[in-house]
Every structure is written in C-alpha cells, then in structure tokens.
Amino acid sequence: MTDRLDGSMIGGGSPRSGGMTVAELKIYSVDEAERTLPFLRKILADLKVEYEGWREAVAGYEVLAAASRADTGETDDLLLSRGRVTDAAARINAGLLELEAVGCQFKGFEDGLVDFYALRDDRLVFLCWKLSEAHITHWHEVDAGIAGRQPIDAADFSGIIP
C-alpha cells in the first residue's frame, strides 16, 4: 500500500479492497469524520447483531451438514439452514456497502473498528475509531494497523479535536 498523493494506486483491485487512486478517496478532517459517527454507530450496531446471527447460522448449518449423508444430498433442513446463512451474509454485505458509501473502511466486527482516510503533514493516514469510543481520538499510518494507533494532536490534523 502506498501513501503518496500523486494519484498512485492504493491497494489493489476494487474500491472495497482499497484499489483506488488517492484522488478517488474520501479524505476526512477529524470534524468531518466525527459528523459521520451517529450514522456509523447505527450501522455498526446492526452489523454486530447480523454477524452474531450469521455465526450462529453457520454453526447450525455445520451441525446439520456433519450429520447428513453424502449419498442423500441436502435435506430440506440443510437447505433451509443454508438459506439462513446466505440471508445473514447478504444483510452483512448491505451494511458493509453502506460503510463503503461513506468512504470509510470497516476493519472488524468485534471492536466495530473503522478507519477514515485523512492527511497528516500531506501524508495519507487513517483516523481510527472503535464503536466503543465516544469520539475519534486516534490515528495510524496506512500500513501500521491498529497496533500503530497514536493519539491525535490538534497541530497535526485540520478539524475540531474532541
């Protein structure tokens, strides 16, 4: 991944995988990212519920599949269970598409972790926020991940610092 502001590709492939030029990215100030939080809180809360439902549906399917016989094909119960898995996955995907439309990157179900592209000293970085946090108070380098989280310093970013 690159952090250059010359139009280079970020990541590879599709927008979801980060395969966009810097010019195509939504670059947030801290204040702009903060304004998305009420919307993101609702989506992330829904995603957490859907993810747990999906995990339960997968576990149920696996139990039924383990008990089934290969020579009889999928039973009605197994087909119904597979449908539950597929439906839950579709609802999760819809939520992820909503996050993508905002221009942020979803990083995990457990923490409800979201990254926003931002500029720090003319370098592309991520503002980093967790669902459990009241405000956006951390950032990290694009290639550093959550382990590289650092407190936001008002001198480093434009926008209101909570």
d(CA 17, CA 11): 7
* Tens-digit pLDDT profile for residues 24-60: 789 999 999 999 999 999 999 999 999 999 999 999 9
Instruction: Name the residue ranges covered by the structural domains of the chain.
Output: 9-151
State the average pLDDT for the chain: 84
pLDDT-derived band at 23 (thresholds 50, 70, 90) equals low
Would you say 34 and 41 are in contact if contact means Cβ atoms under 8 Å apart? Answer: no
Task: Tally the residues of the chain.
Answer: 162
Checking if the pLDDT of 71 tops 80, the result is no
This prediction's pTM: 0.76
Checking if the pLDDT of 15 tops 80, the result is no
What local confidence, expressed as pLDDT, does residue 133 receive? 96
d(CA 77, CA 86): 14
pLDDT-derived band at 153 (thresholds 50, 70, 90) equals confident
CA nearest to 159, candidates 119, 129, 112, 111: 119
Q: Which residues share a beta bridge with 8?
A: none
d(CA 145, CA 143): 6
* Tens-digit pLDDT profile for residues 82-106: 999 999 999 999 999 999 999 999 9
Give the mean model confidence (pLDDT) for residues 142-148: 89
Checking if the pLDDT of 7 tops 80, the result is no
What local confidence, expressed as pLDDT, does residue 149 receive? 94
Q: Could you tell me what percent of the chain has a pLDDT over 70?
A: 82
